[in-house]
């Protein structure tokens, strides 16, 4: 007990012996160590990047701040790596800390060394660790969930259990990937919120999504306003009825109307028997001419 008290309050350096470097770590773990974690300081130049890193954006300002913190206090939380066959290591999590440590010109960095055998495990650990630390933006999380589904063959229920989230939350993140690229980038840049993005998803028309997205940027529209607009668009779509091709007898009516008005005429017929007659005009004088024809008392169709 006495020896354990002497290291309290001395930071991570007291917990990791200075002699515990890469030269003292077996490249091939002993059988009884296969599923255990080892903690050691390893050279940063022996660490390869994680090819399954879910993070896309690394803020330069926060990296600079982390670098200064590391210069002053060291790396407080170890990164996580796995062993490679060539006596090197591959990063699993902690890329920000590793980048900042390199920027701070550290030669060694504390790391947990764990055994990972498959690509699926690498993707899972990389994603889950970042989600638990709340370091990913919504699109990065969505892309990570998509990879878990496509490359690890996990269901949304499986992902929910592994990340301790509701299945509906997982589904809502994945739906973000249906948005146009410019809106996804806007979400990554924090120009809009996740609430804005989820409201925009409910608008099926891409042009309308972009139109309302621009309204958000220009007018600082709230999520409530976007949700209201989305509901209005959905209501209009629900009340619309499928339009079918005109019956042959109506085609002849269209031809007569075009001759009478001297302009383009369209009839839109719906399955419920309703429809529209559209008379087009291209100038004010043409509009007045059409009004005169409509005001004639005689029947215009014999």
Considering only CA atoms, which of 127, 89, 123 is closest in space to residue 109? 89
Scanning the structure block, which residue is given the tokens 């990972």?
116
Among residues 33, 95, 129, 140, which one is catalytic? Answer: 95
For helices 138-150 and 181-188, angle between their N-to-C axes, nearest 10 degrees: 120
- CA end-to-end span of the chain, whole Å? 109
Strand ranges in 135-264 using DSSP code E only, listed in sequence order: 243-244
Could you give the angle at the alpha carbon of 78 between the alpha carbons of 73 and 80, nearest 5°?
155
C-beta of residue 106 within 8 angstroms of C-beta of residue 75: yes
Strand ranges in the chain using DSSP code E only, listed in sequence order: 38-43, 47-48, 79-83, 89-93, 108-113, 243-244, 265-270, 275-279
Cα–Cα distance for residue pair 132/215, rounded to 1 Å: 33
95 catalytic? Reply is yes
Considering only CA atoms, which of 287, 245, 280 is closest in space to residue 265? 280
Q: Is 94 exposed, middle or buried (0-12, 13-18, 19+ CB in 10 A)?
A: buried
Give catalytic residue positions.
95
């Amino acid at each position: 007990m006495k020896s354990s008290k002497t290291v309290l309050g001395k930071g991570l350096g007291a917990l990791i012996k200075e002699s515990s470097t890469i030269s003292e770590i077996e490249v091939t773990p002993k059988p009884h160590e296969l599923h255990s974690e080892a903690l050691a300081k390893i050279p940063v130049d022996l660490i390869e990047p994680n090819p399954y890193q879910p993070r896309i954006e690394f803020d330069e300002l926060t990296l600079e701040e982390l670098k200064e913190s590391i210069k002053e206090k060291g790396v407080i939380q170890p990164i996580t790596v796995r062993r490679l066959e060539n006596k090197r290591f591959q990063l699993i999590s902690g890329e920000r800390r590793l980048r900042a440590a390199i920027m701070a010109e550290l030669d060694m960095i504390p790391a947990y060394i764990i055994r990972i055998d498959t690509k699926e495990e690498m993707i899972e650990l990389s994603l889950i660790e970042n989600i638990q630390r709340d370091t990913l933006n919504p699109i990065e999380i969505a892309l990570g969930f998509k990879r878990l589904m496509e490359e690890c063959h996990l269901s949304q229920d499986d992902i929910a259990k592994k990340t301790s989230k509701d299945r509906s939350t997982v589904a809502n993140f994945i739906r973000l990937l249906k948005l146009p690229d410019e809106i996804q980038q806007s979400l990554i840049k924090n120009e809009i919120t996740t609430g804005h993005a989820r409201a925009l998803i409910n608008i099926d028309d891409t042009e309308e999504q972009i139109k309302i997205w621009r309204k958000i940027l220009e007018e600082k529209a709230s999520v409530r306003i976007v949700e209201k607009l989305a509901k209005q668009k959905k209501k209009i779509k629900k009340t619309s009825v499928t339009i079918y091709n005109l019956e042959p007898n109506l085609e002849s009516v269209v031809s007569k109307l075009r001759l009478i008005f001297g302009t383009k005429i369209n009839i839109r017929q719906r399955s419920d028997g309703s429809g529209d007659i559209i008379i087009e005009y291209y100038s004010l004088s043409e509009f007045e001419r059409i009004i005169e024809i409509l005001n004639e008392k005689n029947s215009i169709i014999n």
